[in-house]
Chains A and B, each alone.
Chain A
């Protein structure tokens, strides 16, 4: 579904990604883990055209989207719940969901709203509240729900568990698995919570300093001694969630 080849990108003269090759097959959850500053967020944002790739190509369902403007990439069926959630804090929860549906066919609106509110019942109670008044966990749910409202073919999630309490994190990963299973949604997941991300993933990649260092199935990487030492050892889900 998503095919990235030789992708380079960065900020001004500083290059953050030095040639990334990555595939996200239809229906799978692909996890991307790596330390702070490795380039995970930059990769997801570059797929969305901001910053723009300086070399390489990004194919989405066979279509070259490398040079497409950000809003047209969204139109092509790619939704991004970016780092930091970026909820519209001065809009109500309902309006946030409406902004999510901008590229979707309006005839599906009620149906889609129903679906995300079943998935995240907490949002239903808060529909008329301002986005800014939600708790961190609720904001993350809203960010994912908003992304789903566009009826995407591919969902990008950037550190959904960041700053959340362990219990909330657990719930969130259950939700992500559910979205993947029930709707057959393809997901590219970026996480610092390596344990959960690897458990969920069909395929996983480890990114170090703007390069993919290691790839494999989630299960294989979970067992890999080097991975365990660098990303898992002593850092169970609890500790990771707090970091």
Chain B
């Protein structure tokens, strides 16, 4: 029981970050019908920008943890957003009307470029980060096993939920959100009504990148190490989350992220930690075979 509870807490923490990244996949797919395979690397860039942010703050002598965290959050969201914007402009927009395979290949190219760029500029070795937010809260103690939730975990979960809420409200009630939904359903009609479709698509990439940056920052803090290759595995897991939830569906991305996080936590807790990645990929295969529309997705209606 205690052990189960502990895995649950770990799983929710992990799931929160997958959910944040999955939103980026699902949003871009929703609006331009393309899987942005470079999104995992945008997340990796977000993690590295966070690391750079912390190092900069250390050289400036800013040691207040909440202040440093806040500044890095803003810093990482901004610059990762710039990366997201640039990737769309350079790699996808010129191919907007090309056959579907072309942007896919372009995405893989972007992914390789970003990985090599970070590998060259930051080095191939694993980068450590000093733990900043220490301490934990004891949830439960049955004498032999102690269930804790660390302050960092609480922060990750709370921040993620707050962001997801803000994001959901944005999509539902703001004019940008309406423009995004309109463009996702019928780009031509949206343009006829005065939506600047190019700008809306840019905004979608920027928002997705910003959410991935938050995930990157939090995972950096959580695991304390990053390298240029983390975007690949995490990217595929978040992609799996988006597919599991139903690609194109925002609640689906959040739900899928949570499920993948939980499955991974329980798998590594009860079976074997070495094979934890296999769990996520097996799910991807099973979902694609048996329920390609995912849990909350709707059947694909061919666009006319």
- B195 touching A71, Cβ below 8 Å: yes
Taking the complex as formed, is B58 at the interface, i.e. its CB lies under 8 A from any CB of chain A? no
A173 at interface, CB cutoff 8 A: no
| Complex alpha-carbon distance, A150 and B182, angstroms | 15
- Identify the closest chain A residue to B179 (Cβ): A102
User: Which of A48, A71, A88 is the one whose CB lies under 8 Å from B196?
Assistant: A71
A54 part of interface (Cβ distance < 8 Å): no
Q: Does A89 lie within 8 Å of B185, measured CB to CB? A: yes
Question: Does B175 interact with chain A (Cβ within 8 Å)?
Answer: yes
Nearest-CB distance from A65 to chain B (Å)? 13
A102 with B185: CB separation less than 8 A = no
Q: How far is the CB of A222 from chain B (nearest CB, A)?
A: 31
Q: What is the bound-complex CA distance between A87 and B182, given in angstroms?
A: 10
Q: A71 and B186 in contact (CB under 8 A), knowing A88-B181, A98-B178?
A: no
Name the distance in Å between A96's Cβ and chain B's nearest Cβ. 9
B178: contacting residue among A75, A86, A95, A146, CB under 8 A: A95
Most B Cβ at <10 Å: residue of A99, A103, A150: A99
Residue on B with the closest CB to A75? Answer: B194
Q: Which residues of A contact B193 (CB under 8 A)?
A: 71, 74, 99-100, 102-103, 146, 150
Q: Does B191 contact A (CB under 8 A)?
A: yes
With contacts A88-B186, A91-B181, A91-B185 taken as known, whether A50 is within 8 angstroms of B191 at the C-beta atoms is: yes
Pairwise interchain contact A70-B192, C-beta atoms closer than 8 A: yes
- Interface size of B in residues (CB-CB distance below 8 Å): 17
CB distance from A106 to the nearest CB of B (A): 9
Given contacts A71-B196, A71-B197, A150-B194, contact A86 B179 (CB under 8 A): no
Residues in B whose Cβ lies below 8 Å from that of A122: none
Q: A residues 61-84 with Cβ under 8 Å of B?
A: 69-71, 74-75, 79-80, 82
A75–B185 Cα gap in the complex (Å)? 21
A90 within 8 A of B: yes
Q: How distant is the Cα of A75 from the Cα of B194 in the complex, in angstroms? A: 6
- Cβ contacts under 8 Å, B82 to chain A: none
Question: How many residues on A have C-beta within 8 angstroms of the other chain's C-beta atoms?
Answer: 23
Q: How far is the CA of A50 from the CA of B191 in the complex (A)?
A: 9
Minimal Cβ-Cβ distance residue in A for B181: A91
Is the pair A91, B192 in contact by a Cβ cutoff of 8 Å? no
Kindly list chain B residues whose C-beta atoms are within 8 Å of the C-beta of A102.
175, 178-179, 193-195
Contacts of B186 in A (CB 8 A): 86, 88
Contact A71 to B194, CB < 8 A, known contacts A82-B189, A86-B189, A88-B186: yes
CB within 8 Å of A: which B189-210 residues = 189-197
Please indicate the chain A residues that have their CB under 8 angstroms from the CB of B179 in the complex: 99, 102
Instruction: Quote the shortest CB–CB distance from B76 to chain A (angstroms).
Output: 32
A to B CB contacts below 8 Å, 30 in the list? A48-B192, A69-B191, A69-B196, A70-B188, A70-B191, A70-B192, A71-B195, A75-B194, A82-B188, A82-B189, A86-B186, A86-B188, A86-B192, A88-B182, A88-B186, A90-B185, A91-B182, A99-B178, A99-B179, A99-B190, A99-B193, A100-B193, A102-B175, A102-B178, A102-B179, A102-B193, A102-B195, A103-B193, A146-B193, A150-B193
Q: Which 10 A-B pairs have the closest CB atoms?
A: A74-B194, A103-B194, A70-B191, A86-B189, A102-B194, A71-B196, A88-B185, A71-B194, A99-B182, A80-B192
- Using a CB–CB cutoff of 8 Å, the interface residues on chain A facing chain B are 48, 50, 69-71, 74-75, 79-80, 82, 86, 88-91, 95, 98-100, 102-103, 146, 150
